[in-house]
Structure formats: structure tokens, C-alpha cells
Amino acid sequence: MTYDITGRVLFITGAARGIGEAVARAAAAKGARVALVGLESERLERIAGELGPQHTWASCDVTDQSSLDAAVKHTVAELGGIDVVIANAGIANHGTVAESPADVVARVMEVNLIGVSRTVSATIAEVEKRRGYYLLVSSLAAFTALPGMAAYCGSKAGVENYGNALRFELAHRGIGVGTAHMGWIDTDLVRDVKADSSTFEDTLRKLPPPLGSIATVDECVAGFLEGIAKRKRRVFVPKSVGLLAGLRPITFSWLGDLPVMAQAKKMVPQLEAQFRKTGRAFGRTSVGMGEPKG
């Protein structure tokens, strides 16, 4: 049976731009009521205003439990409850572990993984009332690895297995749990990395699809909405990412290491030099350490 989102309340973190914003707009167009949650208050307020009075927004840091609890309380007061949670908030640092401050590496882990777990904890009582659904945003990075992405890959792998266990824990409560695994999506996050590193672009060109492909935001939105409608346990964007999930025993073997290791000794110093030159730990549009960027 299709899980119709018409009239249902979707609580979306990281909704100020990128995938979160696009999913919010598409869901609203299908008749859902949307709570847009994130750090960029002006963008959230503007988007909610464009969507109409049946939607709401809340300024929230997903690493701060009191902030999340307040956003949930506001959503319930404004929209009456929560049916679906899309735990989408995420960031990626620019640089390797050796070149990045410890707080930067930890911040990526905190937002991408701990932020997901805090979002679940804040919303679970409301989602249970409606026997709803969680879509936890992981990544293709959960079952592959590239240099310069250690914190991102580690956090997204954590989201996947957190979701796997959570699915079992919440089944008797009537709650569904899925994880979303996307390749590169044409968002601000990916465009920021490309702008700061020609080595990143060169690497993408050498990788086979879907590792080297960049999908559109619209493709991602369609995958997310289909995943919610079918309460899927896995959402792959593009669908070929699912093949890589099945190949992880090879990807994470010594055999899988060979093609990456062959380039790493040259590629990593280039990446480090390029990111060092920008002087930024995060992309131009990333909220990074918690301060919104214009």
C-alpha cells in the first residue's frame, strides 16, 4: 500500500537549502504540511512563507537537544503532530584529518551522526502516535571511501547502521525506518567542493558511474518521496548506487583499495594544498561550525 503524504506532517532538518529545501517544496506541492528546521532562519522563514500558512519553520541546531526539543514542540503546536521525519541535516569538511583541526572533524561527526540520533530522540514520541516513518539521510559514502572524506564517510556509515538497528527497535511501535544513500548530488555542498578543488573534479572524471556521476536534486527528491510513499528500508539515488551497496565486501577489501591507493599518494597532497589555500574548513555556503553563511 502507498503511504499517502497528503495532509501528513513532515519534519525536515537541514531544510534551508539543497535536498532538504527541495524535498520540502515537493512534499508541500503534494499536499503535505511541512516543518522546515535548520540554522538559517531567514531562508527558512522565506521558504515557509512561500509555501503558505499551513507550513511552519523553526531555527534549530541538531547537535543541541534543547533546540531540537523546542523545534518539535513548536511543530506540534503549529501543525498538530509529526508523521514523517527526514533527518537530512549534514555537512562535509574540506581537508584531510591530518590537516584539519580536531574540532572540525568532530563537528562533521556530530552533525551528521549525533544530529540524526538526537533528531530521532526528540521526535519519537510524536512519530509513534501516528505510526509514522523515519528517513535517515546516509550516503553512498557509507559503503565506499575516498581520501579527504574520512569524517564524512565515517559519520554516514554510522547513520546506516544506526538506522538498521533502529528499524528493529521501532517495529513493534508501528514505525518504519529507512536510510537514504545518494551519490554526488548537484547541491551547494558539492558545488562548494568543486569550486575549491580542481583535484576533486579530476578525481570524479576518473571514477566509473555512479561513483563519478552527479545526479540532479530533482532525481534525489523523486527518490526520497518514493521511499516515503513505500516506507522503504533503503533509498538509492541513483538506483545504481544499490549495486555498490551489494559490492561492499569487495569495496572494503585489499582489492578495492588498489585503485584508490594508486592515486592517493599524489592526490592527497594536492587536495591538502588546495584546501589549505582557501583557508576554509567548510564550503562557502555551509553552516560549518554553526554560523550561517550567505
Active site amino acids: 152
- The b/e string for 108-144 (b: 16+ C-beta within 10 A; e otherwise) is bbbbbbbbbbbbbebbbebbeebebbbbbbbbbbbbb
Measured between its terminal Cα atoms, the distance across the chain in Å is 42
- Alpha helices (H) along the chain: 18-29, 41-51, 65-79, 102-109, 115-129, 150-170, 188-196, 198-206, 217-229, 241-246, 248-251, 254-278
Angle between helices 115-129 and 150-170 (to 10 degrees): 20
- 136 Cβ contact list (under 8 Å, min separation 6): 87, 116, 120, 159, 162, 163, 166, 177, 178, 179, 180
Report the DSSP beta bridge partners of residue 13: 37
Q: Are 153 and 185 in contact (CB under 8 A)?
A: no
Residue appearing with cell numbers 578495492: 256
Q: Are 2 and 171 in contact (CB under 8 A)?
A: no
CA-CA-CA-CA dihedral for 145, 292, 82, 225, to nearest 10: -50
Supply angle C-alpha 268, 273, 278, rounded to 5: 130
